Amino acid sequence: MSSDNDILLETIEKAKAGGQVAYSQLLDQYWPEVYGFQLKRTKNENDAEDITIQTFAKAFDKLGTYDSQYNFKTWLIAISKNLHVDLLRKRKRNVLENTDHHTSEAVKLVLDDSPSAEDQLIIEQNLKTLLQHIKELKPSYQQVINLRYFHEYSYAKIAETLDEPVNNIKVKLLRAKKLLAQMISQKPKNPS
């Protein structure tokens, strides 16, 4: 029988190979802990969410460097902590952040595969209901959903439009789709 650690390592290997479902599973499993950690540190929901998005974007970009002898959650928290320290330094110096437009090819492939369960759920919703759900999302999530699905922008084009790194866009979009799917599955369907 597989242990939780074996299952985690298998999921990480699938993510390293570019598996969208594996990335989604890692995000689902560790988002609450990383976000909670940052919320305690920053005492600000927006900062906590931004740093958590950056944490997963960086972790997914650097997944090949993860050493399985260390706890995966600890590795994520270390990345998150370093990003927060960097943010504080940047704010102290009041220096504009340079965005990195050069991301690895592996990251560019993270979410461009086949539709996920969330994609299917979103596709099956009628447009009016879907638009109501989208309006309930935070503005930054609304924006990436709108650009990706209604304007059919590529990840690179969204990143360029919003002046953000591609990997941040991918994590934001993944998170937005998760939240949308939760909203859709929680709302009672109208009887036909």
Q: Rounded distance, CA 181 to CA 186, Å?
A: 9
CA 28, CA 30: separation in Å to the nearest integer? 6
Rounded Cα distance, 14 and 25, in Å:
11
Print pLDDT tens along the chain (192 aa).
Answer: 568 888 999 999 998 888 888 888 999 999 999 999 999 999 988 889 999 999 999 999 899 899 888 899 999 999 999 999 888 887 776 544 344 444 344 334 444 444 566 666 665 666 777 788 889 999 999 999 889 888 888 888 999 999 998 888 989 988 888 888 888 888 655 544
Q: Fold for domain 105-186?
A: Arc Repressor Mutant, subunit A (1.10.10)
Residue ranges of the chain assigned to CATH 1.10.10.10: 105-186
What is the CB-side half-sphere exposure of residue 162 using CA atoms within 13 A? 25
Q: Give the separation between CA 180 and CA 176, rounded to whole angstroms.
A: 6
4-93: in CATH 3.30.70.260: no
Question: Could you tell me where in the chain the CATH 1.10.1740.10 domains are found?
Answer: 4-93
